[in-house]
Amino acid sequence: MKARPKKTIETVHQCCGSPLEPTVPTRRVANVCWGGVDLAELLNEIGVDANARFLWSYGLDGGEFAGTSCDWYLKDLPLERLSAGGVLIAYELNGAPLPAEHGFPARLVVPGYYGTNSVKWLWRLQLAARRADGLFTTTLYNDASDARDLAAGLPPRRPVWALAPESIIVAPAPDAAVALHEPVEIWGWAWSFRGIAGVQVSTDGGINYRHATLEPRRGWAWQPFSLQWRPSHRGVAQLCARAIEAGGAAQPVEGARNAIHTVRVMVE
């Protein structure tokens, strides 16, 4: 693999949280740089069977999870995602060899998909006409559609693949003190599979929102946003950020892993 051209990609990398608590936000997210081999190019060279629809990837780790024992960590993804580009067999993280805990010697990296799909300690790839049955493919990591999703024509269960629109406030920090009438910069990061078109920020717990300044997306990286604020009342202020996707989908207020992030600060 190292004899092939090395491709480097900066991506947002997010854990979707526990598959046993799929609606609980954990906001475990970072932006990292991967180096490795372009998987779509590699498969084009090998040649792909016309019946193939899914890529199955196997990690070397096995054991028991949620009362079920597994030989391997096995995930699958639709081949359309591969054609969209950017999927790597990565052997570098931030310019250094992958550390053991991040998948040494090689891992899959699926930009724009939740971290669970980026299989570490990769030892086998398989193309198949159907999804891979397994604990981490067709049992866990599938979101149940609610009445609104069903009305919008979504299937009853959807695999946890594409990143839903989300944003986090980085500053001010939770419980920070800010000065009355002095300018404060509220800033953070926003991301989704499709890219974020706008971020709105509230300083009154989500009653009123204003448009923040948002950088356009570069590749698969997350996007910075910021808003200048002059606090006009003493006491507690609840800061909220809401990301809106290119297609119009916005972060929900609650009850989902990508629910709106609120940061409480003290105006003194």
Ligand X SMILES: Nc1nc2c(c(=O)[nH]1)N[C@H]1C(S)=C(S)[C@@H](COP(=O)(O)O)O[C@H]1N2
118 or 251, CB closer to ligand X?
Answer: 118
Stretch that binds ligand X, among 110-118, 168-176, 188-196, 246-254 (CB under 6 A): 110-118
Contacting residue, 86, 112, 115, 165, with ligand X by CB under 6 A: 115
* CA separation for the pair 44, 166 (Å, rounded): 34
Q: Are 36 and 1 in contact (CB under 8 A)?
A: yes
115 or 188, CB closer to ligand X?
Answer: 115
Contacting residue, 6, 15, 22, 102, with Mo ion by CB under 5 A: 15
Q: How far is the CB of 202 from ligand X (least distance, A)?
A: 29
* Under rule CB under 5 A, residue 140 binds Mo ion: no
DSSP sequence for 103-124: TTT-EEE-TTB-GGGS-SSEEE
**In sequence order, what are the residues at sequence separation of 6 or more whose Cβ sits closer than 8 angstroms to the Cβ of residue 223?**
189, 190, 191, 195, 196, 214, 215, 216, 217
Longest alpha-carbon distance in the chain: 66
103 or 188, CB closer to ligand X?
Answer: 103
Contacting residue, 116, 167, 200, 202, with ligand X by CB under 6 A: 116
Q: How many residues bind ligand X (CB under 6 A)?
A: 11
Q: Which of 70, 71, 74 is nearest to 58 (CA)?
A: 74
- What are the beta bridge partners of residue 76? 56
Q: How far is the CB of 213 from Mo ion (least distance, A)?
A: 31
Q: Which of 121, 125, 120 is nearest to 56 (CA)?
A: 125
Nearest 5°: CA angle at 132, between 157 and 61? 110
Contacting ligand X within 52-81 (CB under 6 A): 59, 61, 73
**In sequence order, what are the residues at sequence separation of 6 or more whose Cβ sits closer than 8 angstroms to the Cβ of residue 152?**
none
54 or 72, CB closer to ligand X?
Answer: 72
* Under rule CB under 6 A, residue 119 binds ligand X: yes
What's phi and psi for 209, nearest 5 deg? -125, 145
114 or 229, CB closer to ligand X?
Answer: 114
Stretch that binds ligand X, among 82-90, 119-127, 205-213, 219-227 (CB under 6 A): 119-127
List residues binding ligand X (CB under 6 A): 15, 59, 61, 73, 102, 115-116, 118-121
List residues binding Mo ion (CB under 5 A): 15, 115-116
